[in-house]
């Protein structure tokens, strides 16, 4: 294999492994804010006990996110030097803005969130938690801006210099708000909130099955099950379908591969299950007529561009894009009935707490939300190929000219061994923490005695 | 002062922030196995940086992002040229992060010792590798006309960069020791107090050798100083700051010593940056291949946008960073939340 293919594999590996964690930082971050608000409003110590439990899990997940995220900041320069040279003006400034606005926020307040629970009053602790969660969301905003620029570039002009072409910024507003940005950021944030709520549902369902920590498990369902259901609806009917429509308009080659559509046609069908047969130029499987036209163009007789209208060298890998998309749609849609059953049987006198089969489905839900999120990214990134910046620069043109096969083999081997070991340790420690369960709430001193305003925090000598 | 000058200065300020802040927590990591003899002491050492190490590391990440945005050609050439060396830095950054988080999660002695060793060695190697990278940047790199650096990882390990690397380790260990004295008490503190002056002497000797090596063998970085002798005040004040730090350590005024040591680190970096200016990467093949703050920079439009972003963002960063440090001031104590 050549350095380009190896670098693509390495980037896919490191980015995918990294992206196990940020959706939890975002989604569980939101739930941590909810817990903090509930405690302040009700003064019920149950919410405080839950915060102390979940913040430990948050710490572990966040550490994994930091450890694997550092790689991303430098990998563009290491493996994709010509890409970095070409897009530095634009892509670099979005990454730098993410650092200045979001990473510092997370990094600054994380210590207060993780170590401040018994030193800060509930309001100040909530403030720190909110800032970390806000930082995680804000980080997603900038990185989706950057990625959306790679999908549907805007606000630039290409200038020629002595050492090659450069994309130069003409409008920062257009760079930030490219045509795909708004639907994609909605899609990404909702998916992250679904991962966060499903993690809470999963752990709560596990406790109910094991008949442990019943109060906390029921409270976990109470705050997340309805939210999870609503999010699953929004995801499919608002941001999911809107993202598909944007792809249809701006990235026809990606849409054709996602749907395995060969002929440009009106009333294009959508395949539910199937496979793309590249040899014979056909897609086989169960198809519903005209649905794709409706999703892509808003009416059942809208014209959708097929692969045969696009030169073959501009096709993305067909089977992978097609199957990743099928996987995302199939399991993403499944969250609606799962959520609905959860909502019905939770609010119907809490019958769900006795329904073991449904609880087992909720235990598994977090693995599904994570897997579906991965599949979504696979569609977005594999479907963009052969472009690194859609329509502007090929992936092959972005590679570092100095890179040798041996170098990338060495680095990818290190990453594979390291990440397998880290993932095993992460699951081991996460499982240990979940099995251990929430600790009983022990306060060294009454909550009301903790400093709970800026003046109290900064205006007096620390008493501990 | 042009826009590019401002960005060079801002980049140097960010790296100075990184070296001062992550410098002491890397230093604490380097000293971890030497000064802490039992589990409680090791937890105290780890928790002295517990709430702040992540915020400190962000300065490096943002430094990378800012280099990408302001000087993309230097970003691309540097990290692709240093490919495997950078891979090792990433490996140690990852190991260090998980070591801090994993260590106290389990009770068995073997588990904890393993992560103590990983934490300490990865801190040491990050400091060493960053120092070696600085050394190579000062010494110049085989930069071709297209800005590519063809060099393998072993060719980076020549005597001068290694000397800078070892000096960086000593500098961070010294800086970390002063920080650790402020955060500890009792026997542990006594042990660190024993190390601090020795580390300062070792650093002084190594850094003097670095300066001599630059004067004798790295004339490419002396031109600015030869042109304007007044610039010599930067390295001179760095020396004064080190002497002040020494006297403050002797007088057991460790906060003042820490401030002096921080100032010295910033001044040393500024002195190096003055020597490099206006170059970012110096070519050992042909001076016309040098990547400078002008030919490696983004266009004016980007630099202006980035400047606005930084001017909005940085005051907040400094304010809440200071607030967090203030909140966690004083001796480290172990609580239910601690690592």
CA distance A115 to chain B (A): 5
Read off the DSSP letter of residue A19: T
* Distance of alpha carbon B69 from alpha carbon A91, whole angstroms: 7
Task: Give pLDDT tens digits for A47-83.
Answer: 999 999 999 999 999 999 999 999 999 999 999 999 9
Residue A304 DSSP SS3: strand
Chain B environment of A425 (Cβ under 8 Å): 98, 102
What number is the ipTM of this complex?
0.92
Write out the two tokens for A115.
Answer: 């170590």
Q: Are A265 and A256 in contact (CB under 8 A)?
A: no
CA distance A231 to chain B (A): 32
- Strand ranges in B282-331 using DSSP code E only, listed in sequence order: 291-292
Chain B environment of A66 (Cβ under 8 Å): 54, 57, 97
Query: What is the pTM assigned to this prediction?
Result: 0.93
**What pLDDT, on the 0 to 100 scale, is given for residue A382?**
96
**Quick check: B55 and A170 CB within 8 A?**
no
> Least CB-CB distance to A70: which of B52, B61, B145?
B61
CA distance B310 to chain A (A): 7
| Residue length of chain B | 339
* Distance of alpha carbon B138 from alpha carbon B276, whole angstroms: 7
**Quick check: A66 and B91 CB within 8 A?**
no
Q: Which residue of B has its CA nearest to A415?
A: B91
**What pLDDT, on the 0 to 100 scale, is given for residue B334?**
85
**What pLDDT, on the 0 to 100 scale, is given for residue B329?**
87
Phi-psi category of residue A349: left, alpha or beta, with phi > 0 → left and psi -120 to 50 → alpha: left
Q: Is the pLDDT of residue A299 over 60?
A: yes
**Quick check: B101 and A59 CB within 8 A?**
yes
Crossing angle of helices B159-183 and B186-217, in 10° steps, is 150
* Distance of alpha carbon A110 from alpha carbon A37, whole angstroms: 18
CA distance B226 to chain A (A): 32
More confident residue, B73 or B218: B73
Residues in CB range of A169: below 8 A, 6 or more apart: A89, A90, A93, A155, A156, A175, B298, B299, B301, B302, B305
Band of residue A460 on the pLDDT scale cut at 50, 70, 90: low
CA distance A411 to chain B (A): 7
**With b meaning 16 or more CB within 10 Å and e meaning fewer, what string describes A189-220?**
bbbbbbbbbbbbbbbbbbbbeeeebeebbbbb
**Quick check: A73 and B64 CB within 8 A?**
yes
Residues in CB range of A449: below 8 A, 6 or more apart: none
**Quick check: B72 and A92 CB within 8 A?**
yes
Give me the total of CB pairs closer than 8 Å, taking one residue from chain A and one from chain B: 245
Q: What's the N-to-C CA distance of chain B in angstroms? A: 47
CA distance B191 to chain A (A): 25
In this predicted structure, which of B72-81, B117-126, B147-156, B174-183 has the lowest mean pLDDT? B147-156
Task: Give pLDDT tens digits for A320-378.
Answer: 999 999 999 999 999 999 999 999 999 998 888 888 999 999 999 999 999 999 999 99
Task: Give pLDDT tens digits for A16-32.
Answer: 999 999 999 999 999 99
Mean pLDDT over B159-182 rounds to: 96
Q: What is the DSSP string of B116-139?
A: HHHHHHHHHHHHHHHHHHHHHHHH
> Least CB-CB distance to A77: which of B80, B84, B309?
B80
Q: Is the pLDDT of residue A401 over 60?
A: yes
Q: How many CB atoms lie within 10 A of CB A43?
A: 12
More confident residue, B116 or A302: B116
> Counting beta carbons within 10 angstroms of the beta carbon of residue A298, is it exposed (0 to 12), middle (13 to 18) or buried (19 or more)?
exposed
**What pLDDT, on the 0 to 100 scale, is given for residue A461?**
53
Q: Is the pLDDT of residue B275 over 50?
A: yes
**Quick check: B55 and A111 CB within 8 A?**
yes
Q: Is the pLDDT of residue A124 over 70?
A: yes
Q: Is the pLDDT of residue A464 over 60?
A: no
Task: Give pLDDT tens digits for A234-263.
Answer: 998 899 888 888 998 899 999 999 999 998
Chain A environment of B68 (Cβ under 8 Å): 76-77, 84, 88, 91-92, 95-96
**What pLDDT, on the 0 to 100 scale, is given for residue A453?**
84
Task: Assign a CATH topology to domain B3-327.
Answer: Formate dehydrogenase/DMSO reductase fold (1.20.1630)
More confident residue, B74 or A456: B74
Chain A environment of B58 (Cβ under 8 Å): 99, 103-104, 106-108
Residue % of chain A over a pLDDT of 90? 78
**Quick check: A118 and B333 CB within 8 A?**
no
Q: Is the pLDDT of residue B39 over 80?
A: yes
* Distance of alpha carbon A110 from alpha carbon A182, whole angstroms: 28
Domain positions in chain A are 3-459
Give me the phi and psi of A118, to 5 degrees please: -105, 5
Q: What is the DSSP string of B131-188?
A: HHHHHHHHH-B-B-TTS-B---GGGG--HHHHHHHHHHHHHHHHHHHHHHHHH--HHH
Task: Give pLDDT tens digits for A141-192.
Answer: 999 999 999 999 999 999 988 778 999 999 999 999 999 999 999 999 999 9
Q: Is the pLDDT of residue A386 over 60?
A: yes
Write out the two tokens for B81.
Answer: 């040229």
* Distance of alpha carbon B70 from alpha carbon A90, whole angstroms: 10
CA distance B235 to chain A (A): 30
Task: Give pLDDT tens digits for B75-126.
Answer: 999 999 999 999 999 999 999 999 999 999 999 999 999 999 999 999 999 9
- Which of B49, B327, B331 to substitute to test the interface with A, most A CBs within 10 Å? B327
Band of residue A301 on the pLDDT scale cut at 50, 70, 90: confident
Mean pLDDT over A101-116 rounds to: 92
**Quick check: B55 and A107 CB within 8 A?**
yes
**Quick check: B62 and A103 CB within 8 A?**
yes
**Quick check: B54 and A170 CB within 8 A?**
no
**Quick check: A458 and B298 CB within 8 A?**
no
């Amino acid at each position: 294999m050549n350095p380009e293919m190896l670098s693509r594999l390495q980037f896919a590996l490191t980015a995918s492994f990294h992206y196990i964690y940020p959706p939890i930082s975002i989604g569980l971050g939101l739930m941590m804010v909810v817990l903090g608000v509930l405690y302040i409003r009700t003064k019920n110590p149950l919410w405080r006990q839950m915060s102390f439990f979940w913040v430990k899990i948050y710490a572990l997940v966040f550490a994994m996110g930091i450890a694997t995220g550092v790689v991303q900041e430098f990998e563009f320069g290491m493996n994709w030097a010509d890409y970095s040279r070409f897009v530095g003006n634009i892509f670099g400034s979005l990454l730098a803005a993410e650092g200045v606005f979001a990473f510092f926020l997370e990094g600054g307040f994380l210590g207060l969130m993780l170590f401040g629970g018994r030193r800060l009053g509930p309001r100040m602790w909530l403030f720190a938690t909110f800032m970390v969660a806000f930082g995680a969301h804000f980080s997603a905003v900038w990185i989706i801006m950057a990625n959306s620029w790679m999908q549907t570039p805007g606000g630039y002009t290409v200038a020629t210099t002595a050492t090659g072409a450069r994309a130069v910024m003409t409008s920062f507003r257009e760079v930030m708000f490219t045509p795909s940005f708004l639907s994609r950021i909605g899609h990404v944030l909702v998916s992250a909130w679904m991962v966060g709520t499903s993690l809470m549902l999963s752990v709560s369902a596990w406790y109910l099955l094991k008949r442990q920590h019943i109060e906390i498990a029921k409270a976990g369902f109470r705050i997340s099950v309805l939210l999870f259901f609503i999010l699953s609806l929004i995801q499919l009917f608002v941001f999911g379908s809107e993202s598909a429509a944007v792809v249809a308009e701006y990235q026809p080659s990606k849409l054709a591969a996602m749907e395995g559509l060969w002929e440009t046609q009106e009333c294009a069908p959508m395949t539910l299950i199937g496979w793309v047969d590249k040899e014979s130029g056909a897609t086989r499987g169960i198809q519903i007529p005209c649905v794709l036209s409706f999703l892509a163009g808003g009416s059942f007789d809208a014209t959708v561009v097929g692969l045969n209208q696009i030169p073959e060298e501009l096709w993305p890998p067909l089977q992978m894009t097609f199957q990743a998309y099928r996987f995302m749609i199939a399991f993403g849609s499944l969250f609606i009935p799962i959520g609905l059953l959860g909502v019905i049987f939770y609010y119907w006198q809490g019958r769900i707490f006795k329904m073991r089969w449904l609880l087992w489905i909720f235990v598994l839900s977090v693995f599904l939300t994570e897997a579906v999120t991965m599949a979504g990214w696979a569609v977005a990134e594999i479907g963009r190929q052969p472009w690194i910046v859609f329509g502007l620069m090929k992936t092959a043109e972005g590679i570092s000219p100095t890179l040798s096969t041996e170098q990338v083999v060495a680095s990818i081997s290190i990453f594979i061994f390291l990440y397998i070991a880290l993932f095993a340790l992460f699951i081991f420690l996460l499982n240990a923490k979940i099995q251990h369960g929430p600790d009983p709430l022990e306060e060294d001193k009454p909550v009301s005695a903790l400093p709970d305003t800026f003046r109290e925090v900064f205006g007096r000598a620390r008493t501990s | 002062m042009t826009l590019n000058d401002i960005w060079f200065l801002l980049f140097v300020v960010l790296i100075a922030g990184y070296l001062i802040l992550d410098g002491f927590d890397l230093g604490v990591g380097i000293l971890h196995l030497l000064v802490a003899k039992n589990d409680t002491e090791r937890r105290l050492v780890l928790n002295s940086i517990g709430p702040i190490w992540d915020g400190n590391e962000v300065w490096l990440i943002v430094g990378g992002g800012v280099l990408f945005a302001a000087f993309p050609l230097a970003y691309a050439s540097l990290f692709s040229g240093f490919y495997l060396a950078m891979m090792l830095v990433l490996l140690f950054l990852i190991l260090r992060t998980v070591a801090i988080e994993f260590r106290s999660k389990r009770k068995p002695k073997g588990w904890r010792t393993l992560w103590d060793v990983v934490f300490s060695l990865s801190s040491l190697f990050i400091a060493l590798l960053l120092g070696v990278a600085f050394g190579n940047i000062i010494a110049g790199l085989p930069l071709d006309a297209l800005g590519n650096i063809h060099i393998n990882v072993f060719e980076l390990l020549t005597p001068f960069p290694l000397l800078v690397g070892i000096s960086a380790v000593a500098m961070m260990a010294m800086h970390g020791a002063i920080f650790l004295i402020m955060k500890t008490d009792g026997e542990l503190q006594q042990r660190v107090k024993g190390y601090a002056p020795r580390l300062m002497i070792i650093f002084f000797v190594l850094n003097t050798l670095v300066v001599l090596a630059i004067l004798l063998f790295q004339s490419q970085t002396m031109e600015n100083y030869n042109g304007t002798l007044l610039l010599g005040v930067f390295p001179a004040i760095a020396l004064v700051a080190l002497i002040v730090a020494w006297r403050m350590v002797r007088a057991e005024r460790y906060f003042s010593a820490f401030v002096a040591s921080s100032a010295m680190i910033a001044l040393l970096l500024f002195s190096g940056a003055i020597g490099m200016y206006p170059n970012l990467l110096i070519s050992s093949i042909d001076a016309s291949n040098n990547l400078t703050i002008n030919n490696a920079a983004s266009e004016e439009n980007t630099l202006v946008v980035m400047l606005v972003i930084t001017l909005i963002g940085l005051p907040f960063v400094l304010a809440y960073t200071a607030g967090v440090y203030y909140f966690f001031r004083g001796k480290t104590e172990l609580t239910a939340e601690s690592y």
